[in-house]
Structures are given as C-alpha cells and as structure tokens.
A and B are shown apart, each in its own frame.
Chain A
Amino acid sequence: MVSPAHFVALSVILFVIGAVGVLVRRNAIVVFMCIELMLNAANLAFVAFARMHGALDGQVIAFFVMVVAAAEVVVGLAILTAIFRARRSASVDDANLMKY
C-alpha cells in the first residue's frame, strides 16, 4: 500500500539532495538545476498532502509553484547569460566583484 507518507519521504530525500547540490557545485547553471530539483520535491509533497486531505488546494499550490519556477528560470538564466557575457565564465566563484 503506497501511502502519502511514502511520497513525502521521497520528497524529503530529493529536497536534501538538491540542497547539497546547491552547496557543492560551482557551475551556476548546475546550481540552478539543483534549485529546480528542490522546487520539484516541494511540489511532490504538496501533491501528496492534497491526496491525503482529499482536497485539491495542494495541487493548485503546486501549479502556482510551477508558474513561479518558470518565471524564475527565465530571469535567472538571463542573469547567467549576462554574467557570462561580462566575465566569460559560468562559475559562481568568478562573479566575486562585490565580495567585501
């Protein structure tokens, strides 16, 4: 019997993997992908809770998360290409002009 708890546990694992990826990786695009993974994990938890409560509000929230994630990807990737044009690098270490 697959219960919503199974899916919540899976979403916890995926979220942690995404968070570790954000901390570890240096390539800004890969960091961005890890953020997407975290958003997806949160969506899975929302949908599982919607199934548990028998109401669709969780699915609506997941839908809104998807919309916001799409907008965020557009702006974020535009920033990345702008940084790449200026510094010829996609590494998060190279965008350090405003450090201290």
Chain B
Amino acid sequence: MTGTHPLILAGPAAETTRLVAYWLLAILSVAAAVGMVLARRAVHCAMLLAVVMLSLAVFYAMLGAPFLSFVQIIVYTGAVLMLFLFVLMIVGISAADSIIETIRGQRMWAALAGIAMLVLLSLVVGHAVIGPAAPNTAQFGNGNVTTLANLIFTKYLYPFEVTSALLIIAAVGAMVLAHRERTTPKPTQRELAARRIASGRPAPLPGPGTYAQHNAADMPALLPDGSHSELSVSTVLSGRAGETPRELPGATAIPVAPPETAGSLAGPASADSVARPASAGGQGAGEQ
C-alpha cells in the first residue's frame, strides 16, 4: 500500500486497528447522539454533538477522505458548532428544556415514528447490495486533495459557482435578519448625561467582587457598610444558573433607580426587552 496518506493506517495490523477504532467510535458516537437527544441543557447537547462530529472526522479518515476529515474538524466542529455556542450564550440563558408535553403523547409517537423509520431504513439498506471497498488507490490517500480539486473545478464547476452565490445570499440574509431599525433618534451625549444625573446614581456600577472575599465575576461586591451589592453581578451570570433574576434588595446602600427611570435609562435599544430590575443597571454600565 504505497502512496497512502499517513492518516490511513497501513501495515499488517491495520485491519485490527480499523476494526477496534470503528467499534469504539461507533459506540461512542451513537451514545453521544442519544445523549444529545436526552440532555436537558442545550450546552451539553452542543458538547455531545462535538463528540459525534469529531468521531465522524475519524471515520472520514478511515474511509479515505483526509480532506473531508479536516474540513469536518475545522469547519463543522470549529466554526459551525462554535456559532451554535455563541448563539446559545446570547439566547439560551434559560437553556433547560421544559419537560411539559404541549402535544399529548408526543414523545410516545415520536419514539414510534423513530422505530418505524429505523426499521424502514434498515430494510432499505439491508436489501441494497453494499459491496466491499474498492481497491485503495492514490485518490483515497495522498492524491485526495488533488483529485477533489480536479473534480470540483471541472465536473462540478457549475454547482461550485452556485455555492458562492448561496454563501453571499446567506451572509446578506443573516445581516438583514440581525439588523434592527432604529425607531427613535439616537440620544446625544448631553441627553445621556442628563438621564444619568436624573437617575439618582451617576457613579458607574460597582465592579464584581470589589472588596469581596473572592474576585470571581459572580461574587457580589461588598459595599462600605458591609452589605452586598447585587448590582455588581452581571444579569447574564445571575440568570445563568437557571434561576429567575434576583430581586434587588431595597435595603442596599446604593440608591436604586426607580423602575420608570430605569426604563428610560435603558433607552430605545432595549425598549422591547422585558423590564428586569437588574437590566437597567447593565444598560447604565454600557453607557459609560
């Protein structure tokens, strides 16, 4: 087996190695996929999906596709999954899925449909004649990238060009969807300063962990009179643990802005957001 890629195991023990690697990773990836369906938290789902994708990358290498193996790691695990995690950090603060069934018996029917689909696909695959692997040629080894490039730029040139249009459309579409039209004029520096003075707390928010026993970001700052300032903890962190945003204790030394002032302080940018007591503080910090 000369000319094979180093990723493709060659030699006398190659078959055993392949077999062991296949069964290890097959069991691992199926277990991770099942765990992904069952895990309550979305971040755990993303991590388990990463396990599946990385084992698939190894499968691609075993199947003589070193280029796709690296694309799987770099593009899928590195870019697509990280995009998922970014959006999870934005969206999924209350990430735990609800276990209440909105449609009665939905889980049971979904499981039945899954079993039916598995039976159907197994029958199809079982009836199809899936032959052994073709003899190993250079295009599954060192020549993989060259042969793929030849195919993409000759036989599949037209789909490739259409793909570029698709990517541009996707990028522009994402920008349009993420764009938010400003409905009120942008507040000037003077207006912001006036609002801040009127809010009753012109000083910036206390930093997390200031004068506290720990300087972790989720530790509330210790005020000079010994009380804790919940304002110093980011609302993202306080909501991360799955709990509802903590009510601001009225007895803190910091004069807390009344809710109506806080709403105006938050400005038009978050006018559609839920008026949380602590979110006004976060917005105020952003306007420094």
Binding site for B on A (CB under 8 A): 1-10, 12-21, 23-27, 29-30, 32-34, 36-37, 40, 43-44, 47-48, 50-54, 56-57, 59-60, 62-64, 66-75, 77-82, 84-86, 88, 90-91, 93
In the bound complex, what is the Cα–Cα distance between A48 and B62 (angstroms)? 10
Residue ID in chain B nearest A84 by CB atoms = B91
With A4-B130, A12-B125, A80-B87 known as contacts, the answer to whether A56 contacts B171 (CB < 8 A) is no
In the bound complex, what is the Cα–Cα distance between A43 and B57 (angstroms)? 11
Residue ID in chain A nearest B88 by CB atoms = A29
Q: Say yes or no: A33 contacts B152, CB within 8 Å.
A: no
Q: Can you list 25 A-B pairs with a CB-CB distance of less than 8 A?
A: A8-B130, A10-B30, A10-B59, A12-B121, A12-B122, A16-B117, A17-B34, A20-B37, A20-B113, A23-B106, A30-B45, A33-B46, A47-B63, A47-B65, A52-B134, A56-B139, A69-B76, A73-B84, A74-B171, A75-B170, A77-B83, A81-B178, A82-B177, A84-B91, A88-B273
Which residues on the A side are within 8 Å of B130 (C-beta)?
A: 3-5, 8, 52
In the bound complex, what is the Cα–Cα distance between A85 and B75 (angstroms)? 27
In the bound complex, what is the Cα–Cα distance between A34 and B180 (angstroms)? 29
In the bound complex, what is the Cα–Cα distance between A52 and B64 (angstroms)? 10
In the complex, B264 has a CB within 8 A of chain A: no
Which residues on the B side are within 8 Å of A71 (C-beta)?
A: 166-167, 169-170
With A29-B88, A67-B167 known as contacts, the answer to whether A16 contacts B134 (CB < 8 A) is no
Which residues on the A side are within 8 Å of B107 (C-beta)?
A: 24
In the bound complex, what is the Cα–Cα distance between A69 and B71 (angstroms)? 13
Segment among B48-56, B192-200, B214-222 that sits at the interface with chain A: B48-56
Residue ID in chain A nearest B35 by CB atoms = A17
With A9-B125, A47-B65, A82-B177 known as contacts, the answer to whether A70 contacts B79 (CB < 8 A) is yes
Q: Say yes or no: B106 contacts A2, CB within 8 Å.
A: no
With A24-B107, A52-B131, A59-B148 known as contacts, the answer to whether A68 contacts B166 (CB < 8 A) is yes
Q: Say yes or no: A43 contacts B97, CB within 8 Å.
A: no
Q: How many residues of B contact A (CB 8 A)?
A: 87
Annotate B129-145 by CB proximity to A: 1 below 8 A, 0 otherwise. Answer: 01111110101100010
Query: Which residue in B15, B80, B114, B171 is a CB contact (below 8 Å) of A36?
Result: B80
With A26-B98, A64-B163 known as contacts, the answer to whether A70 contacts B114 (CB < 8 A) is no
Which residues on the B side are within 8 Å of A36 (C-beta)?
A: 49, 76, 80
Q: Say yes or no: B83 contacts A73, CB within 8 Å.
A: yes
Annotate B27-39 by CB proximity to A: 1 below 8 A, 0 otherwise. Answer: 0011001101100
In the complex, B203 has a CB within 8 A of chain A: no
In the complex, B13 has a CB within 8 A of chain A: no
In the complex, B19 has a CB within 8 A of chain A: yes
Q: Say yes or no: B83 contacts A74, CB within 8 Å.
A: yes
Looking at the assembled complex, report how far the CB atom of A90 sits from the nearest CB atom of chain B, in whole angstroms.
5
In the bound complex, what is the Cα–Cα distance between A17 and B260 (angstroms)? 49
Looking at the assembled complex, report how far the CB atom of A22 sits from the nearest CB atom of chain B, in whole angstroms.
9
